[in-house]
Amino acid sequence: MSLIGYCLDKVSRLTGNPDLANLPIRCYGRVLQILHALGCYRLPKAPVCRSFDGNAIIHLAPGGHLTERIWFLGYLEYDEEYFLRVYLKPGMTVVDVGANVGHITLICARRVRPNGAVHCFEPVLETFALLLPNIRENGLESVVRANRLAVAAKTGELVRMDCFPAHSGLNRLSLQRETEAAEGWSLSAAEVRTVALDDYVRESAISRIDLLKIDVEGAEMLVVSGASQVLERYKPALLCEFNDPALVRLGSSSRDLWDALVRFRYTFWRYNHRARTLRAESGPCPGGVVTLVGTPDAERLAASMGARLLPAP
């Protein structure tokens, strides 16, 4: 570690601001990001970031929001990812629904190893083909079980996915009536098998689930519908996206998703990594997109993370 890096690490620990330790890398990334916006810098055709989450290797899809954020900044959503780094402990079990290329899977697996487990689900073949080397090249085969399945309300159905090659983060369940993509993206389709989480957990003899992450571009209600036993029995912490436009497109809404999870006694919180706080949310964001932390026992969750609970603003 350089002298500057050593000093920044010490100041970061003293001030409780984790951003400071990565300041040089982030500044360099910001410069590249500006040059990219000006057309003076291009990402590699097959981008591979070798400093993700410290020293993890991650293969990224060409283009797209996720790729650019991780390539230039080293993260996708800092508060959410820092929550995982603080909450997860060795021996825990994580279920990652909507794994994409595995950026959340990698963060989780590196913290629950050696005797923990991560079960991740990514249905699209092209994206799954990047997820596998990300697991393998980081030596996480014994921790991660990758499944090329779409998590839904029922097991064994064949469903169609709409896939956006230029932006894998927007891959989604199809309405069957779309023939061309919006906003100029080329649309391709793939058929995938479904699995209900309740069936998967029972057949895999999983004895604990500490975290359930759900980010499936509007199909969250289907995931919850097939996971009632998981939510009732294991009561995992949630990291769940409330994407109202995507949910409405598939016939539900962020309010429907919120109410469905409240029936399992979940409350929802927004984590602030700088202040180390969990601030209560009083309801979903109509028309918006937000990822929230959910738990049926907020005081226990906060205590395990060393965080303070704050009321809704």
pLDDT attached to residue 233: 98
Is the pLDDT assigned to residue 182 strictly greater than 70?
no
- C-alpha to C-alpha distances, 113 to 8, 53, 94, 291, nearest whole angstrom: 28, 15, 11, 25
**Rounded-to-integer distance, Cα 127 and Cα 169, Å:** 9
Q: Where are the domains of the chain?
A: 76-151+197-310
Which architecture characterizes domain 76-151+197-310 according to CATH? Answer: 3-Layer(aba) Sandwich (3.40)
pLDDT attached to residue 272: 94
Mean pLDDT of 14-40: 71
pLDDT tens-digit profile of 84-103?
999 999 999 999 999 999 99
Give the pLDDT band (50/70/90) at residue 163: low
Give the pLDDT band (50/70/90) at residue 179: very low
SS (H, E, C) 13-60: HHHCCHHHHHHHHHHHHHHHHHHHHCCCCCCCCCCEEEEECCCEEEEC
As to burial, measured by CB atoms within 10 angstroms (0-12 exposed, 13-18 middle, 19+ buried), residue 181 is middle
- CB 37: neighbour CB atoms within 10 A? 11
Question: What is the longest distance spanned by two Cα atoms in the chain?
Answer: 59
- C-alpha to C-alpha distances, 257 to 27, 113, 169, nearest whole angstrom: 38, 32, 20
- Give the type of residue at 151: V
Is the pLDDT assigned to residue 166 strictly greater than 60?
no
Is the pLDDT assigned to residue 51 strictly greater than 50?
yes
Cα three-residue angle 45-49-52, rounded to 5 degrees: 155
Is the pLDDT assigned to residue 9 strictly greater than 70?
no
DSSP structural state of residue 153 = S
Tokens found for residue 37? 């916006």
pLDDT attached to residue 32: 79
pLDDT attached to residue 176: 53
**Rounded-to-integer distance, Cα 102 and Cα 104, Å:** 5
Tokens found for residue 270? 């927004």
pLDDT attached to residue 124: 87
Give the pLDDT band (50/70/90) at residue 1: very low
pLDDT attached to residue 60: 94
**Rounded-to-integer distance, Cα 47 and Cα 43, Å:** 7
Which residues face 293 on adjacent strands? 239, 269
Angle between helices 65-73 and 23-37 (to 10 degrees): 130
Is the pLDDT assigned to residue 62 strictly greater than 50?
yes
Q: Which residue has the higher pLDDT, 64 or 82?
A: 82
Tokens found for residue 217? 């571009």
pLDDT attached to residue 23: 63
Q: Which residue has the higher pLDDT, 179 or 170?
A: 170
pTM of the model: 0.89
